[in-house]
Amino acid sequence: MQLAAYQRLPPVGEYNLYRRRMLPLPGMAKRVAYFVTCIADTVFPEIGEAAFEVLARAGVTPEFPLGQTCCGQPAFNAGFTDEARQVAEHFVEVFAGYEAIVTPSGSCASMVKHYYPALFRGHPRQADALHIAARTYELTEYLVDVLGVRDLGVALPRPTRAAIHDACHGYRGLGIARQPRLLLSHVRNLTLVEMVGHDQCCGFGGLFAIKMSAISGAMLRDKLAAIQDADCDLVITGDASCMMHINGGLSRAGSPKRVVHIAQVLAGALK
Amino acid sequence: MKAESFEKIVDHALADRQLQVALDRGTTRGVNARLLAMSETTDAQALRHQARLARERALNQLPELLEQLERNIIANGGHVLWARDAAELNQHVLTICRQHNVRRVVKGKSMVTEETALNHALEQEGIDVVESDLGEYIIQLAGETPSHIVFPMLHKTKEATAQLLHDKLGMPLTDQPEAMTRFVRGVMRQKYLQADLGISGVNFAIAETGTIATVENEGNNRLSISAPPVHVAVMGLEKVIATWEDYAVLVQLLARSATGQRMTVYNNLISGPRRPDEPDGPEAFYLIILDNGRSRILASEYAESLACIRCGACLNACPVYQNIGGHAYGWVYPGPIGSIITPLLRGPLTAPKLPYASSLCGACQAACPVEINIPDMLLKLRRDLVQAGDPSLGWRLGMKGWAVAFKSPMLYRLGGRIAGWLTRVLARGKGHLRWLPPPFNGWTAHRDFPAFGTPSFRERYLRRFKGQPHDSKKP
Amino acid sequence: MSAREDILTGLRAALAHSKPFPGAEPAAFQAVTRIDPGEDLVARFIAEVQRVKGEVHTAANDDEALDITKDLLTSHHVRRVVMWDEAHLPLRGVWALLERLGIERVYGDNASVAAAEAGITGADWALAATGTLVLSSGPGRPRMASLLPPLHIALLTEDRIIPRLEDYVAAQRAARFGVFRRSSNVTLITGSSRTSDIEMHPVFGVHGPLALHVVLIKNLD
């Protein structure tokens, strides 16, 4: 029964080229879409895969709309509202009509939930955008609050002490703090330790890390120091972008510690 | 902004060891004190919302409340003056000084007078003005400006403070803040007694009785407004509130958010000049109400920024402020709230970097006792800057190109493949890159960049369903 | 147009079409500071004053209160006092006590008052939840008594202790806020003066009194 999630998936439905997504399969009660995010699709496909597997483990077989790209946040956060809206329009086109849209990123979920309503005010697709905003969930939020999952039956290969880095947009934007801790508390061989400044920004902030490189770098140093001081072998976070940023710093500093995405832990994908 | 670029100022701040030590000590204490004090209330979240509604109701009826305030102050024997801008406020103060033959002024802490550069205006007329707040006094001695709304000398270590007091006033060197404080107390005593006029800010102006409220801990404010024969209070017009019940919640959240106290030591409630039968207190009381761009903000989508009660909690909580300190923000109001009100009060193009000097982490909003959504306003200011054509042509073209690519699944996949291939080539098998070309070199200046995984999730997904074996790439 | 007209017209124009916060109804009013049901207000007040580095001396009766006051004055080597008129103090005999001790009572301008080593005041009310004294200025109640001297002695009877700031506000509303017309200055005093300006490190005793002593007198049953 372990980890054969993909084999339990139903066969692929018919691919509708115009709507760029799978049609629902007969008998599927709930149509759940998986939004992998551009970063977990292209930079860290293993995270995209792990999150998909976690959902399958929890008994949900999401559809993966093949036309998906990005939520539009990079342009939106840079102030380029028109450009962000163009990409968001595509997102709405791809994800309209689903019962739930699940994504392994608090940041992307927060973009859709918080900013789509205003971005589509008076827009022909406003109704769809509002529908999507109300039905987009971050992965652990969906697992715990919607599915009621607690224990995914996962064990780490060896006893591990891990600290959580609460990614900003999930933590403060969506109030995600309890859900990952609950899920991780049921992972065998895993001891959770709290880290000083667990909710402090790592300094990523999208283009901020490039445009305000010095400030972002200083924030990253603060975060690396907290990780160094924490009594842990591993840091777990819910956003691939923070993970990329902190790991970039740890790697540059020559630290043996690493950050992993919570989906990788919950999928039992850590070796 | 000053002539020096924002990036330069930031670099100096980050390299300033003394500043970094002072910021670390100060902001850590500030954050912890606030968290503890807010957790000890009946219900922190409900109270923040209550405080927010108190501010919203006041802003909804600003003209009526200001008129009511004015009526009640006049009924109490005070005078009310109105100032459209900084110059007009300073002119009012100078006129009052002339009427009362004022030579010496003692001043309690007031951000509005920093905004109008009142000290400078007074000194130009030959009037001696002394800041009476300990921190403000030390800043004035040093010839500097405040770097924090509540803790003006947060950028200074105790060691640097002792050296300054030693150099300027001959204090014996010490590393004890207690000894420095006692020394300044002695210096300031005579200044209060000799002053012809006292100036204070206003934390809240309660319309229903015409009372102005100031909060403080040192007693300097109370002395400044009680000892001299004339008291001039200056306020931004947004400081008015409707009722005493609103005062009760706001003043307590202010104390808990600013310094972690349940109440500040002195809450001074001033309703006009001394009554004929009272033994002491100033004979004349003036309130000056300043606009200076605030009515323009009220009409904009940034009206929320006027709800600010100047507690400074967002500064302490902000990881950017924690690293660069207050002076880098370039004007009177630093930190996250400064990044909003500086461009709003002075014009967006006067501080085009400030809205971008944030990772949008939201720590400011979470700390704010009146729930101001600072990240959303930073986003709107960025949008305004883009619409005003501020970003370079390169950025604008880059964003246009990004949108074209990311709204087309085909171009997105193609771009992803090319970028992935490039990162893997540049990584040369190490899994990460130590260098990226401009404009991405900002990233690799401080951290490595990962080589993209391959194949993409999308390809893996499609393969699975074609019955191909599970390609389990290790994380 | 005058600045006043200009500003008010501008504000009215800004609010003409829509309020910036249409949803701002009056909030359910909730007190800020926690008090447990059935909590002893006197004990809470004493604990809170001590928390903010004030001292409370409890007196079972007037004679004890006078003894405490005398000890405070002599132990601080006080020679001059600025004080409220006895009619505004909850304790008779302070004036006579000063005469017995040879302590001068100073009045008048700031320079004379500044020579006092102690100030003796009453208090309108005391707030248990925060250890706060409420003092209003008025005839026979100089502001300076609680402000200029290094030692502030406040005389208070237990029946003046109310739970919180919110209760004080409610009482003033019931009294139509007369105090804010009669008194140019109402001051809420919570502990002795302090600063955290140097590295946010708390230091007690800045420009206001260095020490606050409350003499808390039991009421007659």
DSSP 8-state class, residue C87:
G
Residue-wise pLDDT for B218-276, tens only, equals 999 999 999 999 999 999 999 999 999 999 999 999 999 999 999 999 999 999 999 99
What residues does C151 pair with on adjacent strands?
Answer: C118, C211
Contact B448 A251 (CB under 8 A): yes
Instruction: Give the domain range for residue C83.
Output: 41-217
Q: ∠C180-C185-C188 over CA atoms, to 5°?
A: 95
Distance to chain B for C117, nearest Cα, Å: 14
Contact A43 B455 (CB under 8 A): no
pLDDT band at B471 (very low <50, low <70, confident <90, very high): very low
Residues B411 and B288 in one domain: no
Q: Which residues contact A35 (CB under 8 A, 6 or more apart)?
A: A65, A68, A71, A95, A101, A102, A103, A108, A136
CATH of the domain at A203: 3.40.50
Of B154, B161, B278, the CB nearest to C137: B278
The alpha-carbon radius of gyration of chain A (Å, integer) is 18
Question: Is the backbone peptide bond immediately before B455 cis, with ω within 30 degrees of 0?
Answer: yes
Residue C115, in any domain of the structure: yes
CA–CA gap between residue A140 and residue B110 (Å, rounded): 47
CA–CA gap between residue B190 and residue B186 (Å, rounded): 8
Residue B324, in any domain of the structure: no
Quick check: C203 and C191 in contact, CB under 8 A?
no
Of A43, A214, A261, the CB nearest to B7: A214
Residue B237 burial by CB count (10 A; 0-12/13-18/19+): exposed, middle or buried? buried
CA distances from A186 to A146, A181, A192, A265, B267 (A): 18, 9, 10, 11, 51
Chain A, chain B: beta-carbon pairs less than 8 Å apart: 221
Q: Answer whether residue C5 shows pLDDT above 50.
A: yes
Q: Answer whether residue B467 shows pLDDT above 60.
A: no
Residues B273 and B414 in one domain: no
pLDDT band at B137 (very low <50, low <70, confident <90, very high): very high
CA–CA gap between residue C117 and residue B68 (Å, rounded): 42
Residue C36, in any domain of the structure: no
Quick check: C214 and B302 in contact, CB under 8 A?
no
Q: Answer whether residue C201 shows pLDDT above 90.
A: no
Quick check: B264 and B216 in contact, CB under 8 A?
yes
Mean pLDDT confidence for C14-28? 86
CA distances from B177 to A38, B156, B160 (A): 53, 12, 11
CA distances from A27 to A13, A30, B362, B464 (A): 12, 9, 43, 22
Residue C167 burial by CB count (10 A; 0-12/13-18/19+): exposed, middle or buried? middle
DSSP 8-state class, residue B448:
-
User: Structurally, how many domains does chain C consist of?
Assistant: 1
* β-pair type (C132-136, C118-121): unpaired
Residue B301, in any domain of the structure: no
Residue C83, in any domain of the structure: yes
Residues A173 and A131 in one domain: no
| Amino acid, single-letter form, for residue B219 | G
Residues A193 and A231 in one domain: yes
Of A64, A68, A205, the CB nearest to B360: A205
Quick check: C91 and C153 in contact, CB under 8 A?
no
Indicate contact of B with C: 3+ CB pairs under 8 A. yes
Contact C169 B182 (CB under 8 A): no
Retrieve residue C161's tokens: 């202790």
Distance to chain B for C92, nearest Cα, Å: 21
* β-pair type (C80-83, C104-105): parallel
Contact C27 B152 (CB under 8 A): no
Which of the listed residues B296, B328, B360 is the one where a domain comes to its end?
B296
Of A6, A200, A210, the CB nearest to B319: A200
Q: Answer whether residue B152 shows pLDDT above 50.
A: yes
Question: In chain A, which residues have pLDDT < 70?
Answer: 1-30
User: Structurally, how many domains does chain B consist of?
Assistant: 2
Residues A167 and A95 in one domain: no
The percentage of chain C sitting over the pLDDT mark of 70, rounded to a whole number, equals 99
Indicate contact of B with A: 3+ CB pairs under 8 A. yes
Give the model's pLDDT for residue A5: 40
Residue A108 burial by CB count (10 A; 0-12/13-18/19+): exposed, middle or buried? buried
Residues A124 and A24 in one domain: yes
Mean pLDDT confidence for C119-127? 98
Among A169, A171, A214, which Cα is nearest to A76's?
A169
Q: Answer whether residue B313 shows pLDDT above 90.
A: yes
Residue C30, in any domain of the structure: no
Q: Which of residues 42-81 of B touch A (CB under 8 A)?
A: none
CA–CA gap between residue A69 and residue B219 (Å, rounded): 60
Mean pLDDT confidence for B159-182? 95
CA–CA gap between residue B252 and residue B53 (Å, rounded): 15
Question: Is the backbone peptide bond immediately before B273 cis, with ω within 30 degrees of 0?
Answer: no
Angle between helices C94-101 and C62-75 (to 10 degrees): 40
CA–CA gap between residue A179 and residue B222 (Å, rounded): 50
Give the model's pLDDT for residue C220: 80
Residues A10 and A66 in one domain: yes
Tell me if chain C has a CB within 8 Å of the CB of B325.
Answer: no
Rounded (10°) CA dihedral A33, A165, B42, B149: -110
Instruction: Give the domain range for residue B220.
Output: 40-296
Residues A132 and A237 in one domain: no
Instruction: Give the domain range for residue A189.
Output: 155-266
Quick check: B181 and C203 in contact, CB under 8 A?
yes
Tell me if chain B has a CB within 8 Å of the CB of A55.
Answer: no
Quick check: B471 and B455 in contact, CB under 8 A?
yes
Q: Report the residue of chain A nearest B473, measured CA to CA.
A: A46
| Amino acid, single-letter form, for residue B274 | R
Residues B88 and B222 in one domain: yes
Retrieve residue B306's tokens: 């006027």
Residue B317, in any domain of the structure: no
Length of chain B: 475
CA–CA gap between residue B241 and residue A101 (Å, rounded): 44
What residues does B49 pair with on adjacent strands?
Answer: none
Residues A10 and A141 in one domain: yes
Q: Which residues from chain B sit within 8 angstroms of residue C25, using beta carbons?
A: 53
Which of the listed residues A124, A146, A168 is the one where a domain comes to its end?
A146
User: To which residue do tokens 């919950």 refer?
Assistant: A266
- Best mutation target, B116, B193, B278, to test chain C (most C CBs within 10 A): B278
Mean pLDDT confidence for B351-368? 97
Give the model's pLDDT for residue B348: 87
Residues A64 and A189 in one domain: no
Residue C97 burial by CB count (10 A; 0-12/13-18/19+): exposed, middle or buried? middle
Residue C14, in any domain of the structure: no
Residue A271, in any domain of the structure: no
Which of the listed residues B296, B330, B355 is the one where a domain comes to its end?
B296
Residue-wise pLDDT for B260-272, tens only, equals 999 999 999 999 9
Which of the listed residues B296, B321, B349 is the one where a domain comes to its end?
B296
Residue-wise pLDDT for C134-164, tens only, equals 999 999 999 999 999 999 999 999 999 999 9
Mean pLDDT confidence for B129-155? 94
CATH of the domain at B49: 3.40.50.10420
Tell me if chain C has a CB within 8 Å of the CB of B152.
Answer: yes
For chain B, the average pLDDT equals 94
Contact C192 B82 (CB under 8 A): no
Residue B314, in any domain of the structure: no
Residues A21 and A134 in one domain: yes
Residue A184, in any domain of the structure: yes
Mean pLDDT confidence for B129-142? 95
Q: Answer whether residue C85 shows pLDDT above 90.
A: yes
Distance to chain B for A147, nearest Cα, Å: 23
Neighbours of chain A (3+ CB pairs under 8 A): B
Residue-wise pLDDT for B376-433, tens only, equals 999 999 999 999 999 999 999 999 999 999 999 999 999 999 999 999 999 998 999 9
Output the CA torsion sign for B244, B246, B249, B255: negative
CA–CA gap between residue B427 and residue B434 (Å, rounded): 8
User: Structurally, how many domains does chain A consist of?
Assistant: 2
